Structure 1
Amino acid sequence: MEQALDECAGLLGSVADRDWEGVRAARLDWNCRETAVHIAGVLIAYAGQLAGREPEGWTPFEISLDEGTDNAGAVQVIRTTGALLAAAVRTTPRDVRAFHPYPFRSANREGFAAMGVIEVLLHTHDIAEGLGLSYEPAPELCDFVLTRLFPHVQPGPTPWPTLLWATGRGELPGRAPVTEWRWNNNLVIGTERLTLEGVTPAAATDLSTVGDGGFEWIEGGPVDGTRVGAGLVYKQYEDGIHRPEWGMYVLVRREDGRALGAMGFHGVPDEAGRVEIGYDLVEGARGHGYATEALRTLSSWALKRDEVRTVVANVERGNLPSQNVLARAGFTQVAEDPGHLVYELREPGEG
């Protein structure tokens, strides 16, 4: 956040003596001055959401600049509101989520940080283009945003042109122009004892190697199956076929915020409405019904989607604990081969 603010304030501060009100900010309907005020407004709004832990809607306040505030003052306000958001991000526990409408009506501290960064990057670009200035933010800032808010966008050759293309502000060779867009905070699904947290490409990258993905794990985690699954998520992201709802979720225990394992889909549902699910738990979390609880909830969520008719699970023939989990979750064995058993759960009324 601080790096994005420094780059923004450095550029805009260098042209604060120019006319911002008489110049349109690139493709926006706002002039450059209005766009600068908007940056400050969204930064303080995001800080307010996190600080207030607002669950259902926007905190009812807005920011305005004192009468007579010049452009240099507007830049100062951007710096200040950005610092407040950065402070809110640093002091908010990782499990806290607050309201934001896109697309699942909540975001965590990392999501609000990324949303703050993208507001600064894009609207600094808009003002710079309106004023005829050259601006290109640091690649790591663009990558930070893309891997957290644009999991559905295939990475391009370089992050900044990819981000501009994904937000309707530029072109990429071989890709159709973007005319409508929204960013995508991760989906979180709750159960009685668990929170199933959707894994972003950023977290998947970390989990697929030696990292913790930003989660605090119980002893022994994450296990190899989680790392393999995370690697598949990132590979789908690189290939441009990742759809975050049909990716991987980390199972976090509500009582202490510790991660116990992972569960997720192998890809989007096929044309017959079948989607495959898989899971694993850290050894210390087994035998407490966590996998069954998560499987019931995630399968039920899937079957409520119009594109799903059947949830499928393949399990090794010798893996009796996993077979018991599937049976307790309502799955029925439907096929087998020498090494595996196939289980299915169908939507009500499906034969």
Structure 2
Amino acid sequence: MADTGGDMVQRAVEDAVAVLRTATDRDWRAVDAGRTTWSCRRTAEHVASCLLAYAGQLAGRARDAYVPFEITLDGDEDGLDPADNEGVLHVVETTGALLTAAIRTTPREVRAFHPYPFRSANREGFAAMGVAEVLLHTHDIAQGLGLAHEPPADLCTYVLGTIFPHVQPAADPWRTLLWATGRGDLPGRAPVTDWRWSNNLVVPADRLTLEGVTPLAAADLAAGGDGGFVWVEGGPFEGTREAAVMTAKAYEAGVHRPEFGLFVLVRHEDGRAIGGMGFHGAPDEDARAEIGYDLTERARGHGYATEALRALADRALAREDVRSLFATVELDNVPSQRVLERAGFVRVSEGEDELYAYELRRN
């Protein structure tokens, strides 16, 4: 999983500009973009503004808010000659190049502020958001101008698998993305009237960060890849790959919930992934969720699993829809039993089916 998203942004911008350049002789100010109330010109300016803003967030390492600047095109203020349509497309190309460069030069562990839904995004998240802005608003402009537009399917799959983890994929990723953003219909699914994309969740711990695994990264892990993480020697362990398979299957079935998915444990000291931890699915009817974990052999014995389990358990039990957590461990796996006990879990069975069961309940 070598690409960090920069290539995706570059390709999306190139494809969009090629389509829109066929209609630069039209009056973009006089035509609304698709179902929006914006003109085609205003919509193109919005695309450029988003690309620049995302580049600024990453380059500026923004923590708590957007970097306080905005783009202004010639003609948007009195006294300036207006930029023509070709000039607007040049700005889109330029801001796309800036975001591409920011993505390619930002370390993988960096996160910057974005409000939805967990107050931050990594470079892959900003790349997917940038591609989404380009694809969707090019569609809007093309509708207004009466142009044919169908972006490459892999770009749509990239967006869906990165920032739409709650949307069940379908045979046609472009039509699925349009449906998911209220721009079209999909057979067998109700129309979407309210939507938002979702960047991956991260859970902080003292020496680690638990990074939520997107469906795209889960599919890569399940297929034998690295999921976009830099692993210590021996990783990822087989249990993490099995959990990735579960995540990918849940996504394909339309039942994946990122808060109850797979997390990769990334060590602060060197940015390397040392294991996986997560849930077997969403809470059941008794508000109980099952949790599991594994670490690469070289990372064991340092308290990482206990630290991560405490952080993830605390976050889960703070939710209204979770009253207890459940875990099972083999009878002879004493180190894993000690991890559960140090994290506050209590043994609630005596070895049925060659497993001990442990539980942690909300106070």
User: TM-score, normalization: structure 1?
Assistant: 0.98
Code of the residue aligned with 2:140 in structure 1: it is D
**Does 2:352 align with 1:344?**
no
1:103-122 to structure 2, matched below 5 A, reads 103-122=117-136
2:235 to 199, 221, 224: 221
Code of the residue aligned with 1:205 in structure 2: it is A
Q: What is the DSSP-based 3-state SS (H/G/I as helix, E as strand, rest coil) of the residue aligned with 1:344? A: strand
- Unaligned residue ranges in structure 1 (runs of 5+): none
Match of 2:260 in 1: 246
1:20 to 11, 14, 28: 28
Q: What is the DSSP-based 3-state SS (H/G/I as helix, E as strand, rest coil) of the residue aligned with 1:176? A: coil
Identity over aligned pairs, percent: 64
Distance 1:321 1:96 in 2: 32
> What does the per-residue CA deviation read over 1:237-263, in whole Å, with 9 as the maximum and x for residues that have no partner?
000000011000000000100000000
Tell me the CA shift for residue 14 of structure 1.
Answer: 1.2
Tell me the CA shift for residue 58 of structure 1.
Answer: 0.5
2:214 to 185, 192, 200: 200
**Does 2:273 align with 1:255?**
no
Match of 1:146 in 2: 160
Match of 2:292 in 1: 278
Deviates more, 1:65-74 or 1:52-61: 65-74
**Does 2:65 align with 1:57?**
yes
How many aligned positions are there?
348
- Unaligned residue ranges in structure 2 (runs of 5+): 1-8, 76-81
Distance 2:301 2:287 in 1: 32
> What does the per-residue CA deviation read over 1:30-54, in whole Å, with 9 as the maximum and x for residues that have no partner?
0101000000000000000000000
> What does the per-residue CA deviation read over 1:78-115, in whole Å, with 9 as the maximum and x for residues that have no partner?
00000000000000000000000010000000000010
Distance 1:202 1:273 in 2: 28
**Does 2:181 align with 1:173?**
no
Distance 1:124 1:294 in 2: 42
> What does the per-residue CA deviation read over 1:171-212, in whole Å, with 9 as the maximum and x for residues that have no partner?
010000000000010000110000000000111011112111
Distance 1:273 1:166 in 2: 28
> What does the per-residue CA deviation read over 1:264-296, in whole Å, with 9 as the maximum and x for residues that have no partner?
000001111100000000000000000000001
Q: What is the DSSP-based 3-state SS (H/G/I as helix, E as strand, rest coil) of the residue aligned with 2:348? A: strand
2:224 to 210, 221, 246: 210
Tell me the CA shift for residue 338 of structure 1.
Answer: 3.7
State the 4+ residue runs in structure 1 displaced beyond 3 angstroms.
Answer: none
Match of 1:324 in 2: 338
2:18 to 7, 10, 22: 10
Q: What is the DSSP-based 3-state SS (H/G/I as helix, E as strand, rest coil) of the residue aligned with 2:344? A: coil
Distance 1:228 1:47 in 2: 35
Distance 2:217 2:19 in 1: 32
Code of the residue aligned with 1:121 in structure 2: it is L
Distance 1:44 1:186 in 2: 21
For CA contacts below 8 A with separation 6 or more, give which structure has more relative contact order.
2
Match of 1:264 in 2: 278
Distance 1:100 1:2 in 2: 21
Match of 1:39 in 2: 47
Match of 1:306 in 2: 320
Alignment root-mean-square deviation, CA: 0.6
Distance 1:97 1:14 in 2: 37
Q: What is the DSSP-based 3-state SS (H/G/I as helix, E as strand, rest coil) of the residue aligned with 1:21? A: helix
Match of 2:178 in 1: 164
User: TM-score, normalization: structure 2?
Assistant: 0.95
